[in-house]
A and B are shown apart, each in its own frame.
Chain A
Amino acid sequence: GAVVSQHPSWVICKSGTSVKIECRSLDFQATTMFWYRQFPKQSLMLMATSNEGSKATYEQGVEKDKFLINHASLTLSTLTVTSAHPEDSSFYICSAVGRGGVSTDTQYFGPGTRLTVL
């Protein structure tokens, strides 16, 4: 139980293009989803928190117009990196907290998406 998937697992794109990353909770309802970014040998940095059906809350320093987050259903959240630049290259990881046979205190993480912007 408590499986979270991400798609794609890796993506390479040209500078200036937009990339969408999907995060799905497969066997539970995700009332809250989180998006993190992790640079090599660094800790996970929280980018934003999204609750189903409402606007995401972004952490300080994260541009909401650049990192568009949509949480339209209880099982799906998407992160779109708009006009990506090489400095956006990173490992993006989502997590979910939910209900339906899972602990409400625990974040369940997806496998991550490696974004490389050329």
Chain B
Amino acid sequence: SQKIEQNSEALNIQEGKTATLTCNYTNYSPAYLQWYRQDPGRGPVFLLLIRENEKEKRKERLKVTFDTTLKQSLFHITASQPADSATYLCALEGYSTLTFGKGTMLLVSP
């Protein structure tokens, strides 16, 4: 069956460091993958979309990689700030719908 795995344990890092979050999937061949940010009690906010034929995408301090052979996406936040603390969700496209992972909570301490 299809499965999306994100690290369930919170990632604690210090301000200024690079945060790296992982999304692994099985039994999928998505045309694209998306990353969202979700704050407590709020809906997800779209961050980045990367297509299957793209290896890397950047937006300001964010970078996403997509390895369709490894079936993995990495999400990086460089020069992290306490305001980056949130839960980050990866989502895979399939048949015009999105399937979400459970998300990884990122905590950036000053």
Interface residues in B20-41 by Cβ distance below 8 A to A read: 32, 34, 36, 41
Complex: A95 Cα to B8 Cα, angstroms: 24
Question: What is the distance, in angstroms, from A60's C-beta to the closest C-beta of chain B?
Answer: 12
Complex: A95 Cα to B91 Cα, angstroms: 13
In the complex, A43 has a CB within 8 A of chain B: yes
Whether A44 and B89, one on each chain, are in contact in the complex, defined by CB atoms closer than 8 angstroms, is yes
> How many residues from B make CB contacts under 8 Å with A?
21
Given A105-B32, A106-B34, A109-B45 in contact, is the A46-B102 Cβ separation under 8 Å?
no
Chain B binding surface, main DSSP class:
strand
Given A105-B32, A109-B43 in contact, is the A43-B101 Cβ separation under 8 Å?
yes
With both beta carbons as reference points, the residue of chain B lying nearest to A57 in the complex is identified as B97
Instruction: List residues of chain B with CB within 8 A of the CB of A4.
Output: 43
Instruction: List residues of chain B with CB within 8 A of the CB of A106.
Output: 34, 46, 49
Complex: A41 Cα to B34 Cα, angstroms: 20
Complex: A109 Cα to B32 Cα, angstroms: 18
- CB 8 Å contact bits of A89-116 with B (1 = contact, 0 = none): 0010101000000010111111110100
Choose one: B42, B49, B93; the contact of A112 (CB below 8 Å): B42
Complex: A6 Cα to B32 Cα, angstroms: 27
Chain A interface residue number, banded: 20 to 34
In the complex, A49 has a CB within 8 A of chain B: yes
Instruction: List residues of chain A with CB within 8 A of the CB of B46.
Output: 106-109
With both beta carbons as reference points, the residue of chain A lying nearest to B4 in the complex is identified as A43
With both beta carbons as reference points, the residue of chain A lying nearest to B31 in the complex is identified as A105
Whether A44 and B45, one on each chain, are in contact in the complex, defined by CB atoms closer than 8 angstroms, is no
Whether B100 and A43, one on each chain, are in contact in the complex, defined by CB atoms closer than 8 angstroms, is yes
Whether A41 and B97, one on each chain, are in contact in the complex, defined by CB atoms closer than 8 angstroms, is no
Complex: A44 Cα to B32 Cα, angstroms: 18
Instruction: List residues of chain B with CB within 8 A of the CB of A111.
Output: 42-43
- The interface of chain B, by Cβ under 8 A from chain A, is 4, 32, 34, 36, 41-46, 49, 89, 93, 96-103
Add 11 more A-B contacts to A46-B98, A111-B43 (CB < 8 A).
Answer: A32-B96, A42-B102, A43-B89, A44-B44, A49-B97, A106-B34, A106-B46, A107-B46, A109-B36, A109-B44, A109-B46
